[in-house]
Amino acid sequence: MTKILPFKAVRPTRDKVSLVASRSYQSYTQAEREARLDYNPFSFLHIVNPGYKYDKEISGEARYNLVKNRYLEFKEDGIFKQDTKPCFYIYKIVDRDHQVFNGIVAAASVEDYTNNIIKKHEDTIAAREIVFKDYLKTVGFNAEPVLLTYPDNSTIKTIINEKQKERAEFEFTTTYRDTHLLWLIDKEEDINAIAETFNKTKTLYIADGHHRSSSSKLLCEDLKTDNKAHTGEESYNFFMSYLISESELRIHEFNRLVKDLNGLTKEEFLIQLDTMYRIENRGITPYQPSKAHHFSMYLDGEFYSLYLRKTNYQFNTSLDQLDAQLLFKTILEPILGITDLRNDDRIHYLSGKKDIVNLKSKVDSKAYTVGFGMIPATITQMKQIADDGLTMPPKSTYIEPKIRSGVTIYEF
């Protein structure tokens, strides 16, 4: 049983939403950020980067307070308005490749997360959790939902389809040629049907946003302690989520780039690889693996295919079957000496949305010595690993959709 609630979102006005909505701050290059901050006074980036107007880098509590000030200014200026009644929100994305994503923005329960009804498949870093918790506690809002996935459900699909016959509240296309649409679900019968349907859903899975959800748990614990009249229904007992059916989720791989061969020559490296892999030199022809436990490798101007010698590797758990884990346990750690996948600056991750030629260009630039490509993990693998209480290595999945910040905002 999962608890999903409607909420009163703070949203941009219809005429400003295309200007306000932004990608996550980290996804922009410095030049892109500066261009938007220079020429678009309505961008949500002005809120999350409040020091820009002072031409100064500001961090810590001082930055958090300025973020809150910029947010309040957007509300005072009428750029943001809060809905007068709790709603669910249908958010649709049609990307430049014509893939369509339909989901529901709602408030998910911290208690469900704590009780493992909302399951995770990635570890979080305690220091990052605390930093984001402190940020949330100061600013009092969250603008980036956690991406949750649920089994396909005909009731939810019917409600979404029927609502989308109406004119969307928001419809805008970004400079990246993605089209975003938003509808409000404000009728009691629809709200109740959605809430009751999810109440019958045994488990939800976090697809993206592990640190956001864990930080929301810490925030709830802090505010609960501070509130002597705590009831469990306060807004801090929930966190904003974007719920999408499993069939509409898109999982891409993260390919790996490594700066050096850990002191080995090319020949020594290939000989060590031969213990665990059947190796074939593919020359200059790009090779992209198509099966689990097969990898592509680009080294010294040539592509190689690597096929696991299964007699030398034991599959004891669901995690052992994951290619990102397999690559780590057979190559990155024992041969290349990379033990900390989060913090070792010798390794870099490249989204599988960028093709294998992009990996080649990174190695050819001499910034990296070797690159590895793999196939994406599946939703079945992700769920099984979560069900088994295991966690994937960092950057095991690049998951879509990615919705825009500032379109719906959840206040605590």
Tens of pLDDT, residue by residue over 134-161, are: 999 999 999 999 999 999 999 999 999 9
Q: What are phi and psi of 208, to 5 degrees?
A: -155, 135
Residue 51's pLDDT is: 86
Mean pLDDT for 370-379 is 97
Average pLDDT, the chain: 95
Q: pLDDT, tens digit, for every residue of 205-242?
A: 999 999 999 999 999 999 999 999 999 999 999 999 99
Is the peptide bond between 289 and the residue preceding it cis, with omega within 30 degrees of 0? no
* Integer Cα distance of 58 and 66 in angstroms: 9
Rounded average pLDDT over 278-294: 96
Give the whole-number percent of the chain exceeding pLDDT 90: 88
Q: Which residue, 284, 305, 313, is CA-closest to 374?
A: 305
What is the set of domains in the chain, with CATH numbers? 4-251+400-411 (no CATH), 254-396 (3.30.1760)
Per-residue pLDDT at 398: 92
Other residues' Cβ atoms within 10 Å of the Cβ of residue 18: 18
Q: Contact 138/61 with Cβ under 8 angstroms? A: yes
Confidence tier at 1 by pLDDT (50, 70, 90): confident
> What per-residue confidence (pLDDT) applies to 298?
98
Q: Look at the alpha carbons of 209, 212, 215, 217 in this order and tell me if their dihedral is positive or negative.
A: negative
Q: Residue 292, class by beta-carbon neighbours within 10 Å (0-12 exposed, 13-18 middle, 19+ buried)? A: middle
- Identify the weakest region by mean pLDDT among 22-36, 238-252, 269-283: 22-36
Give the amino acid at 45.
L
pLDDT at 311: 87
Cα separation, 313 vs 308, in Å, equals 8
372 near 297, Cβ under 8 Å? Answer: yes
Give the model confidence (pLDDT) of 73-84 as tens digits.
Answer: 999 999 999 999
pLDDT bin (cut points 50, 70, 90) of residue 276 is very high
Question: What are the tens digits of pLDDT across the range 310-346?
Answer: 888 999 999 999 999 999 999 999 999 999 998 899 9
Preceding amide of 286 cis, omega within 30: no
pLDDT of residue 52: 85
Question: Could you tell me where the DSSP H helices lie in 77-125?
Answer: 110-114
